[in-house]
Structure 1
Amino acid sequence: MSVLICKVSLLEAITDNIYRVHLIPESNFSFRAGQYLILQITEKNRRPFSIASTPMEKDILELHIGASGYNAYTMSTIQHIKNNQRIIVDIPHGHAWLREEKNYPLILIAGGTGFSYIRSILLTALTQQKNRYITVYWGGREKKHLYELDDLNILASYHPNLNIYPILENFTDGFSGRYGTVLSAVMEDYSCLSQHYIYLGGPISMVKSARVLFCAERRAQLSLMFADALNII
């Protein structure tokens, strides 16, 4: 692991409660797709964030941070980034990175800003394993929370092996995707998950439910399921 001083080159609001951050490290770094960094607010206040960029991008780290004015804890992270031209991060962390031992299809499941975790895995897999079958399930309350859906659809138009399934909780006019939850969508689409790599980015409750449902009812192999939350549930 390395402690890096990073210049903040971008802080932009993607939606009313999601921010994109670009950091330019002042020294060399490395990580695997699916790992995360720890942002140091103070010596004792350290917060983890998935890395949305890919290991191939050698001069930038991208983060997607959910933060609401109603939540002082999350907004304090954004305020820290706003107030400091340079910030300190510790990288890399986590064991839920992209595996390449077997060429099984990938199922990438994200809720909200959990997309930042699967984004790095998706873009890396498309670059390094162009013919691998990949299915993305991305869920949110409203369409605006699927903030890179247009980019995903463009990617899918160039990669016939990539399928994108957006899923909303709330009805939205003009939305042509599915409604419900990402887990129910996966359960509907697959009768067996025993030969799939499954990556999960989202709340601990979602990861816990996925482990129970997929293993008990769809024969998923726990050894082929990845999420850092699996280490603590």
Structure 2
Amino acid sequence: MTSIFQRALGADFDRLHPQMRRRFSVGLDSGEACIGRGTMDRIWHGRGFVRPFLALGGSRNVLLPQAGRDVPFTIENFPYLDSHGRETVTFVRTFAFPRRHRRFDATMVFSHERDCVVDYLGTHQHLATDLHFVVDAWGALVIRSGAHRFREGPLDARVPDLIAGDALVREWYDDIARRFRIQVSVTNRRFGRLFGYGGSFTADFVDVEKYGVRDSLRPVREEARA
């Protein structure tokens, strides 16, 4: 079995920088989890009218409702089998603002039906987003979001492009600094920039069986529909 990211990238996985290959080999087969610790140099927001929406999303750890500079950052990528038997990898990002810690939670699975990684956002997995992965000429991983779907009980609706946020993520390894670097930007096709962040971190790899997967890393509710 390969990691969900190897399945998404296919042969292009081997074009990643070696440190990036190890980081995105995290999975049940590798038995490793990755804990990144560093600093986000800048966390930014778009125009003022987006802040109420960011605050609403922040209540379920879906969006990041606070801006700042030089914010300590942790990302925890742990693999586990969810209640539907799918290999899942956590992307729990914690931003240590001076007065309050903020979390931006996601859990990812590979969907054979959709032939891509599906990113469930937030504590209750209400929002599912297709993610499309490519490797650029420098061995960095570039991730673009695709279709968004909202699921709650029997409701299963595609989020219209007019109100959806399009995410662009680039993550790479800096050989000189010996750190991972990341840039994230979320925009709306009509309203422009919503929020984003950029910074760097180092990574430790731990044995999942020995370290365990904390309950607080898992979502409160797991959605079966991809």
TM range (shorter): under 0.3
Greater fraction helix: 1
Greater fraction strand: 2
TM-score by length of 2: 0.27
TM-score by length of 1: 0.26
Bigger Cα Rg: 1
